[in-house]
Structure 1
């Protein structure tokens, strides 16, 4: 049994690498595909499938930072890393940016495992306390985001946030989320960044392979851990929304923020399993997949989740740095403008392949809003109004009112 579990753990890591490196290919797609093949999960022991699900979900949270940092091609979970991560790449610090996200993932894993007994007790209490006022807390975060802008940009930020929010509310309430998130976030962040890089003919500088490791980055891990807890605990709050909160906590601290982003994604995965065990709520595709093969999750299953998760984190962290390093070595000899053109073309193709004409329209609309933010010099975190406004409306209970008004 041990060798079989180990085999499925490595298989999950391999698939996690694939889903992480290919923008638009989500782990949930693999879960649905595997579970639709009845002979697959009936032919193997349940705990082998558990190891596959956990290792795939965990490893994906590490590898999906590679395309977002190096090419500006995000997934929902890594979209905010396009901004500081790509900026560090253009300053010759791509290795460091990738290392920071890995450090965050490993840090929250250790924090989560060390605090497990307390989490089982406190999470249900926290859930019942925060959920009724979540829309108020998020609204305060939005106001703070706008307040941090200076001069005329403080006047430009609210309408830009609103434009992105209206796009999010209309599309997320008209189409399945899997047909909306990839094209919208690609347009808002990736395409706008790529078009700007192509127009300005940015050149990729030599990448530094050595950098300092400072203990103060622990702050980023703790922030990522807490934000990931929020994402794993509450419906409608994903890694992106949690990342917005982390951005405000760690404002102007680039390295800490990247550590936090790496931590949010990984802790979110772990917390969704804790929440499933503690209060019986399904908060992620990985937990849903697990619920299809296990009727009742036991303490042994949770122990296996964290044992597999620990090994997957360690291996994925090493492989992410190695893989990212190899890619950086290759792209430094390539014309960066041509590479951006290729990436732009590839993303448009993937948007069309996965979501069709509606996806292209959403993506190009998002790109227009993203380019407006760049031209006005506004922080592009305001573009996360795409997710924040629908989330605030959801928690406030006003969804039917706005749907009747706008649709």
Structure 2
């Protein structure tokens, strides 16, 4: 038992680091830990190592909202969430945005526990049918988003253009030559579509004072949005080829982030955490890995599933408290020049893309930024850029790619 809690503590540290550093995913920290696999296994044992890996993933789902909120830098989990969360910061409600996401994540742990057992015991019986319907589901979601947009024609054009870019990126990731290589190619793709392209249109002025409120949401139905996010995250956590970004796109078809930004933040926070827990169930039930963390866990002797789920819940509680605490410190950004911060973040993203993926990553970043500025120019919702994730999955599901 002491080794398991040591693994939990190690996972918390890794998740905090990966969550707070823009562009770094928990998968990166998993790779770092696996490089010392022999020593960690010798000291802690396989069960504690699995606990540390899963705890890092769960912790990351709570902490990664902070750089997305403050600086507008997306990762694969927070791409669409950047938009309402960063707007909260510019209105002096940054701590509220962070805490809303944490509340959604904590509720999703409660909702996910029975879903883990249900999915593990029931869904494998219907998996062949489920796999085929992924593409149909995403086509329906894309259709709802297009028809509910300001201009269905322009929305469809942006969706398909970003989708073609996504297909190209996923089919040809191999020229990426940085330290992350092909596995890091999502970083420049999503940063261009949802990060730099937004920052290029940021206004001037200074960061306003951040109100340190409770973050329980004065106009957002917490339980309803948490449940919706949990269901979306659970579905994509189970289905192959889908990611947190896909879950957030599905949520955007039901919750308008322009009209109910707080509710959308709660829902996406819940989806990201639920995705981690149901991805664990998929590993044990189907031997399918949904991310680098699950790949790393599958390489060692698997402990009981509910043991990992229980320690993941403890990690979620600790990460929730840490996130709430850090949200109260967001006043340190008061008075920063918004334009200068945006320029600094753009430079950081360019450098990080080069370090992670080399010159090819900069090429993808430039293309993604060019596509990402279009929604601002023609005034359609930026969720149209989720075609970069959704179209490749649709084609894969229908066996067209």
Under TM normalisation by the shorter chain, which class is it? over 0.9
**Residue equivalent to 2:177:** none
Post-superposition CA distance 1:201-222 (Å, at most 9, x none): 1432222222554682111111
Which SS does the other structure have where 1:182 is aligned?
Answer: helix
In structure 2, the residue matched to 1:315 is: 318
Question: Which of the residues 173, 176, 196 maps onto 1:175?
Answer: 173
Q: Distance in 1 between matches of 2:336 and 2:21?
A: 20
Distance 2:126 2:275 in 1: 15
- The aligned counterpart of 2:244 is 239
The structure-2 alpha-carbon separation of the partners of 1:45 and 1:179, relative to structure 1 and needing over 3 Å to count, comes to closer
Q: Kindly indicate whether the alpha-carbon contact (under 8 Å) linking 2:204 and 2:337 is maintained by their aligned counterparts in 1.
A: no
* 8 Å Cα contact 1:123/1:275 also seen in 2: no
User: 1:193–1:237: structure 2 CA closer, same or farther, 3 Å change rule?
Assistant: same
Counterpart for residue 7 of structure 1: 6
The secondary structure found in structure 1 opposite 2:356 is helix
Equivalent position of 1:184 in the other structure? 189
Shift of 1:364: 1.6
1:221 to 222, 226, 249: 226
Q: Which residue of 2 aligns with 1:355?
A: 357
CA contact (8 A) 2:96 2:216 kept: no
What is the DSSP-based 3-state SS (H/G/I as helix, E as strand, rest coil) of the residue aligned with 1:104?
A: helix
Contact 2:112 2:234 in 1 (8 A): no
Shift of residue 265, structure 1, vs aligned partner: 1.1
Separation (CA, whole Å) in 2 of partners of 1:139 and 1:52: 37
In structure 2, what is the Cα distance between the partners aligned to 1:169 and 1:385? 9
CA distance in structure 1 between the partners assigned to 2:356 and 2:328 by the alignment: 29
Q: Partner of 2:391: helix, strand, or coil?
A: helix
- Indicate if the aligned counterparts of 1:243 and 1:261 stay in contact, CA closer than 8 A: yes
* CA separation of 1:114 and 1:389: change in aligned 2, threshold 3 A: closer
Shift in Å at residue 314 of structure 1?
A: 0.8
Pair 168,6 (structure 1): closer, same or farther in 2 beyond 3 Å: same
Give the Cα separation in 1 of the matches to 2:7 and 2:139: 43
Q: CA separation of 1:116/1:155 partners in 2, compared to 1, >3 Å: closer, same or farther? A: closer
Structure 2 CA distance, aligned partners of 1:169 and 1:115?
A: 32
Aligned to 1:282: 289
Match of 1:206 among 205, 209, 212: 209
Q: Distance in 2 between matches of 1:127 and 1:244?
A: 23
**1:383 alignment partner in structure 2:** 385
More divergent stretch after superposition (316-325 vs 73-82): 316-325
TM-score by length of 2: 0.92
Q: TM-score, with normalisation over the residues of structure 1?
A: 0.91
- Tell me how far 1:115 sits from its aligned partner: 4.3
Provide the secondary structure at the position in 2 that maps to 1:77.
Answer: coil
Return 5+ residue gaps in structure 2 as ranges. Answer: 175-181
Give the deviation of 1:155 after TM superposition: 2.2
Give the number of the structure whose residues are more often helix, by fraction: 1
Aligned ranges 1:103-122 → 2 under 5 Å: 103-122=103-122
- CA root-mean-square deviation: 1.8
Q: How does 1:79-158 map to 2 (within 5 A)?
A: 79-125=79-125, 127-150=127-150, 153-158=151-156
Structure 1 gap ranges (5+): 400-407
8 Å Cα contact 1:34-1:40 kept in structure 2: no
Distance 2:116 2:353 in 1: 40
C-alpha distance in structure 2 between counterparts of 1:38 and 1:160, whole Å: 44
Whether 1:260 and 2:267 are equivalent positions in the alignment is: yes
